[in-house]
Amino acid sequence: MTKIDDVARLAGVSTATVSRALRGLPTVSQATRDRVLAAAAQLGYAASPSASRLAGGKTGAVAVVVPRITRWFFATVVEAAEEALHRGGYDLLLHNLGGSETERQRLLYTAALHKRVDALMLVATPLQGPDLHAVTSLALPGVTVSSGTGVPGWPSIRIDDVAAARTATTHLIECGHRRIAHISGDPADELAFTTHIDRRRGYREALGAAGITPDPALDVEEEFTVAGGERAVAELLRRGTPPTAIFAACDEIAMGAMAGLRQAGLKVPADVSVIGIDDHDLAGVVGLTTVAQPAAEQGRLAANVLLTPLTGGDYPGEETVILPTRLIVRESTAPPRAN
């Protein structure tokens, strides 16, 4: 393996100069830089990251933490972040909690992040108490995406979940619905997401504004997955008179709900309207009305917010960037059946 000494020798300079030239530091004359670059190219030299990290104190990597990479929103955020990070010359260490508290413990208390990265991106991973302390004591710059609980000093990129939920619910109300069910976050969720809390709040606010009293029988807690949506519908039907509309806290739940309704012999939207939040890739396929959120943009923005200080720019510190959402009406919502 060729190392920096080989390049130095070939270029006729010191290793310090090779190091400076290769990293593009300004204090190298053009002629010297050219010579070093040529030598490095000729030898096919690339610095050893381990050695650079140890000597330089920078890892050149960013850790990205997501609850479940298999969910549309998280995969989309990661894809966009990955591109921005690599473009900026950073590696991306992926941590997928897989919905498991054990995994989260490992991440937080096992030195898994210790001196491995220069910055952190926490996607929908709210932290409190000792968990939060475990992260802040890393003393790294970071950014949260769609996290209910922000990290002190970190910027936060997200949408206004309350408003998005209000938009969704209001759309159903404007269609003429009054018996509007809601399916949202699982209280048994080990990771304690908070997104569903805000969405439920928006749901209630919209009902309230229309003078509709929230009916607990129409409010089901389930996980943010297709299977969760199916189970929730079964539960709703078990409880008695079905709603005429369902606001699902995310598109995966919504699509699961649509499937559940169909299995129960109910037609969407003739019998029951369904709306979600996300604008999942497949929302168009199943004709799902939804409140779209810019997932890729959140990932890209978050990556850039991290890249800026890492490359000498200013770290924004604690601030909140709220990205816009928009209602997309498809075929899953309609006025309730006249009766």
- The answer to the question of residue 9 lying near DNA (CB under 7 A) is no
- The answer to the question of residue 111 lying near DNA (CB under 7 A) is no
Report the nearest approach of a copy of itself to the CB of residue 183 (Å).
Answer: 15
- Tell me whether residue 103 or residue 221 sits nearer to a copy of itself (CB atom): 103
- Tell me whether residue 12 or residue 153 sits nearer to DNA (CB atom): 12
- The answer to the question of residue 267 lying near a copy of itself (CB under 8 A) is no
- The answer to the question of residue 320 lying near DNA (CB under 7 A) is no
Per-residue tokens: 279: 């604008």
Name the burial class of residue 151, with classes exposed (0-12), middle (13-18) and buried (19+) by CB atoms within 10 angstroms of its CB: buried
Binder to a copy of itself among 115, 133, 267, 337 (CB under 8 A)?
115
- The answer to the question of residue 219 lying near a copy of itself (CB under 8 A) is no
Per-residue tokens: 281: 């890739």
| Cα 179 to Cα 16: distance, rounded to the nearest angstrom | 72
Judged by DSSP in three states, 182 sits in strand
Binder to DNA among 1, 139, 188, 338 (CB under 7 A)?
1
Neighbours of 85 (CB within 10 A): 26
Binder to a copy of itself among 41, 285, 322, 329 (CB under 8 A)?
285
| Cα 257 to Cα 241: distance, rounded to the nearest angstrom | 16
- Tell me whether residue 211 or residue 312 sits nearer to DNA (CB atom): 312
- Tell me whether residue 111 or residue 270 sits nearer to DNA (CB atom): 111
Binder to a copy of itself among 25, 111, 209, 217 (CB under 8 A)?
111
Neighbours of 97 (CB within 10 A): 22
Per-residue tokens: 263: 């299995």
The number of residues making up the chain comes to: 339
| Cα 199 to Cα 208: distance, rounded to the nearest angstrom | 14
- Tell me whether residue 241 or residue 311 sits nearer to DNA (CB atom): 311
- The answer to the question of residue 307 lying near a copy of itself (CB under 8 A) is no
Binder to DNA among 9, 16, 267, 329 (CB under 7 A)?
16
**Which x/- pattern over 272-311 shows residues binding DNA (rule: CB under 7 A)?**
----------------------------------------
Contact 242, 266 (CB under 8 A): yes
- The answer to the question of residue 95 lying near a copy of itself (CB under 8 A) is yes
Binder to a copy of itself among 286, 307, 310, 334 (CB under 8 A)?
286
- The answer to the question of residue 22 lying near DNA (CB under 7 A) is yes
Q: Which is it for the CA torsion 275, 276, 279, 285, positive or negative?
A: negative
Is it true that the peptide bond before 214 is cis, omega within 30 degrees of 0? no
